[in-house]
């Protein structure tokens, strides 16, 4: 670890030398047994990794501190290049974790699942999962010392006490989420409790601890965590890349005042995200468009091309993690978005507050390439819960006969909902994307036709979902519209159930569609239209979105609730 390139005498206040700059080991030395430690991060982005690593090392070396509760509003670290919460995933150190999402990749070098996921699967800790909208907005309630956070989002889902209350291990005994009634309607209530330590990240600090984020493409929950910890009487540790002289930055550049920061850890080598030390293309509209990735042709690209036809002009569109994030990349490849100047026609964002540019897929998801603006995590969920994202494209792991979609818990995967539940509950139009089956699916394409070479081992269309992340059926009953787009078929969600509306050329409906479902669609269109053959052409092509709003149509109508 390298520490600050800063003055030997970094600052004086009222004649007394005062420096908040200390090592990561010194910063975590005061954390005591039984405390609650909160930290920021979105996959590999904005993770104070060196400080979390120091806390894990302290426990490994000394056996202290013990029985900590960890609060991560989002999945912190990717457990591969940037370990994040995997640093502290140690039995004895971690008693309880509450997180808006969990990371569950297989490390390509070791073939191992994350240490945290192993603790969860072996019931060695208390693990709770909250929708990220709740994990973000809850911090505001802690900061203002309110009794708790109240929301209708999540009623009837895995977060509902009637469906498990977000408990991911049998060790969980406390009910961190309650169900209440207000005005004759059900709500979820998240009682507040104090945060003792917040570990956050910024780009630069001065000797007083004033923080700015000029190198970070996301802010996430950093500001909210700091204020919640200080309101709780706790401490704030900020990890930064560099120290700058006091007064060098203008006031608008400083996002968090130093009086809310207790100590500063300097790590000049901290990564922007895994495999990316620093990339200006995640901070500004593009000048170097060579960084733009092209999705290889296959089922995922077919799905993205078809889903792209549902994107409308001048309608704020939000894209979730997984297959849905391929849609903006396909649209950029089709020339619908100017990578250098952005687009006044197509408005893209994710749950993490990056606006404009191109939503990225895989482990680069969360920070947009070539963005035009940025807001923090709590504000972004104000946007989402306010229904301003009228269109949402989201991936799905399971869809069941009752109209429930699952991405939160399936098989050995316990990823949690992330922003999925809030996004799905508050959008007006929904598209769920994913392959029909998973686990070894192979397809071939020839002359605009598709053929299943090897079927996946697991069908995503099940009788009963293992976890309810969102009830699409209830959303449609409230006035939402919803499609399921796969590589071989498209379904519309009607009030009565699924309607098969399109099938890929070359696909046998009885064998390749109905035969891979644990339940039958409510209806099949007759005659059944074929998906456009151009979707299955490996050559690049322009597949313009099918629906476009008129100039007179308001861009921000209230979403169907």
The number of helices, as runs of H, and strands, as runs of E, in the chain is 10, 33
Q: What is the DSSP letter of 195?
A: -
Helix (H) or strand (E) holding 453: strand 449-454
Q: Packing angle between helix 132-143 and helix 222-231, nearest 10 degrees?
A: 40
Per the annotation, the verdict on 351 as an active-site residue is yes
| Cis? peptide before 82, omega within 30° of 0 | no
Q: What is the DSSP letter of 420?
A: H
Task: Tell me what pLDDT residue 343 has.
Answer: 67
Same-domain pairing of 210 and 343:
no
**Is residue 272 in a domain?**
no
- Kindly provide the residue ranges of all beta strands, DSSP E only, lying in 222-269, ordered along the sequence: 235-240, 242-243, 263-266
Pair type for strands 347-349 and 16-17: unpaired
Same-domain pairing of 294 and 157:
no
**Is residue 553 in a domain?**
no
Q: Rounded CA gap, 102 and 414, in Å?
A: 7
Task: Tell me what pLDDT residue 551 has.
Answer: 37
Same-domain pairing of 341 and 258:
no
Task: Tell me what pLDDT residue 8 has.
Answer: 34
Same-domain pairing of 261 and 287:
no
Pair type for strands 126-129 and 94-99: parallel
Contact 36, 299 (CB under 8 A): no
Same-domain pairing of 463 and 515:
yes
Contact 312, 338 (CB under 8 A): no
Contact 60, 287 (CB under 8 A): no
**Is residue 5 in a domain?**
no
The boundaries of the domain holding residue 27 are 12-266
Chain center to CA of 550: 31
Phi-psi region of 41 (alpha: psi -120 to 50; beta: other; left: phi over 0): left
**Is residue 274 in a domain?**
no
Q: Rounded CA gap, 306 and 483, in Å?
A: 11
Number of domains in the chain: 2
Pair type for strands 126-129 and 148-151: unpaired
Same-domain pairing of 449 and 348:
yes
The total number of residues shown for the chain amounts to: 561
Q: Rounded CA gap, 100 and 102, in Å?
A: 7
Same-domain pairing of 252 and 288:
no
**Is residue 541 in a domain?**
no
Terminal CA-to-CA distance of the chain, rounded, Å?
50
SS (H, E, C) 47-110: CCHHHHHHHHHHHHHHCCCCCEEEEECCCECCCCCCCHHHHHCCECCEEEEEECCCCCCCCCCC
Q: Rounded CA gap, 455 and 527, in Å?
A: 26
CATH number of the domain where residue 83 is located: 3.40.1080.10
Same-domain pairing of 491 and 422:
yes
Q: Rounded CA gap, 477 and 497, in Å?
A: 11
Q: Which of 205, 203, 204, 208 is nearest to 11 (CA)?
A: 208
Active-site position among 351, 398, 428, 502? 351
Same-domain pairing of 262 and 316:
no
Q: Rounded CA gap, 136 and 146, in Å?
A: 15
In the block, residue with structure tokens 């060196």: 50
Task: Tell me what pLDDT residue 1 has.
Answer: 36
**Is residue 550 in a domain?**
no
User: Which of 236, 266, 296 lies at the terminal end of a domain, its last residue?
Assistant: 266
Residue 547's SS3 state is coil
Same-domain pairing of 179 and 203:
yes
Residue 125: partners with Cβ closer than 8 Å, 6 or more residues away: 91, 94, 95, 96, 97, 119, 169, 171
HSE-up of 181 (CA within 13 Å, CB side)?
3
Contact 526, 437 (CB under 8 A): no
Contact 422, 133 (CB under 8 A): yes
Same-domain pairing of 431 and 335:
yes
Q: Rounded CA gap, 401 and 245, in Å?
A: 61
Same-domain pairing of 197 and 302:
no
Q: Rounded CA gap, 207 and 303, in Å?
A: 51
Contact 331, 542 (CB under 8 A): no
Please give the average pLDDT of every successive group of 10 residues along the chain, which has 561 residues. Answer: 35 52 98 98 96 98 98 94 95 98 82 91 96 98 98 98 96 97 97 98 97 96 98 98 96 97 97 92 77 86 96 95 90 82 82 92 89 95 98 97 94 87 98 96 94 96 97 97 98 97 98 98 98 91 48 33 25
Beta bridge partners of 256: 211
User: Which of 266, 295, 318 lies at the terminal end of a domain, its last residue?
Assistant: 266
**Is residue 275 in a domain?**
no
**Is residue 21 in a domain?**
yes
- pTM given for the model: 0.92
């Amino acid at each position: 670890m390298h520490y600050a390139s800063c003055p030997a005498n970094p600052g004086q206040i009222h004649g007394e030398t005062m420096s908040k700059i200390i090592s990561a080991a010194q910063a975590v030395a005061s954390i005591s047994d039984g405390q609650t430690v909160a930290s920021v991060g979105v996959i590999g982005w904005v993770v104070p990794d060196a400080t979390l690593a120091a806390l894990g090392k302290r426990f490994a070396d000394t056996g202290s501190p013990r029985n900590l509760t960890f609060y991560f509003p989002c999945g912190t670290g990717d457990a591969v290049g940037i370990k994040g919460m995997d640093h502290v995933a140690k039995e004895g150190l971690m008693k309880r974790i509450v997180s808006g999402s969990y990371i569950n990749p297989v490390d390509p070098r070791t073939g191992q699942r994350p240490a945290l996921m192993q603790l969860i699967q072996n019931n060695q800790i208390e693990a709770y999962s909250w929708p990220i909208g709740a994990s973000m907005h809850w911090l505001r309630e802690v900061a203002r010392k309110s009794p708790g956070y109240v929301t209708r989002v999540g009623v009837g889902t895995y977060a509902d006490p009637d469906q498990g209350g977000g408990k991911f291990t049998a060790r969980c005994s406390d009910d961190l989420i309650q169900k209440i009634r207000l005005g004759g309607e059900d709500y979820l209530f998240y009682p507040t409790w104090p945060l003792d330590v917040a570990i956050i990240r910024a780009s630069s600090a001065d000797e007083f601890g004033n923080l700015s984020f000029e190198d970070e493409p996301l802010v996430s929950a950093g500001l909210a965590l700091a204020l919640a910890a200080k309101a709780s009487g706790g401490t704030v540790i900020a990890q930064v890349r560099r120290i700058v002289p006091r007064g060098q930055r203008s006031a608008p550049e400083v996002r968090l005042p130093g009086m809310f920061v207790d100590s500063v850890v300097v790590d000049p080598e901290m990564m922007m995200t895994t495999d990316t030390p620093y990339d200006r293309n995640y901070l500004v509209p593009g000048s170097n468009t060579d960084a733009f990735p092209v999705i290889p042709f296959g089922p995922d690209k077919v799905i993205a091309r078809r889903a792209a036809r549902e994107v409308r002009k001048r309608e704020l569109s939000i894209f979730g993690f997984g297959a849905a994030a391929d849609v903006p990349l396909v649209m950029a490849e089709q020339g619908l978005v100017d990578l250098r100047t952005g687009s006044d026609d197509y408005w893209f964002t994710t749950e993490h507050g990056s606006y404009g540019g191109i939503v990225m897929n895989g482990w680069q998801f969360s920070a947009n390439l070539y963005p035009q603006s940025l807001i923090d995590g709590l504000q972004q969920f104000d946007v989402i819960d306010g229904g301003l994202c009228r269109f949402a494209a989201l991936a799905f792991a399971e869809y069941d006969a009752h109209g429930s979609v699952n991405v939160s818990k399936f098989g050995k995967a316990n990823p949690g909902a992330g922003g999925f539940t809030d996004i799905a509950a508050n959008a007006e139009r929904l598209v769920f994307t994913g392959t029909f089956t998973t686990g070894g699916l192979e397809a071939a394409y020839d002359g605009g036709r598709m053929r299943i070479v090897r079927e996946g081992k697991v069908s995503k269309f099940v009788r009963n979902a293992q976890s309810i992340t969102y009830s699409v059926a209830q959303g449609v009953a409230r006035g939402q519209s919803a499609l399921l787009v796969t590589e071989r078929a498209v379904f519309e969600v009607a009030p009565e159930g699924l309607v098969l509306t399109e099938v890929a050329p070359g696909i046998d409906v009885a064998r390749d569609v109905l035969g891979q479902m644990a339940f039958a669609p409510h209806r099949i269109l007759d005659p059944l239209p074929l998906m456009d053959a151009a979707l299955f052409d490996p050559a690049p092509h322009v597949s313009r979105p099918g629906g476009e709003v008129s100039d007179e149509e308001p861009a921000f109508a209230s979403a169907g609730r």
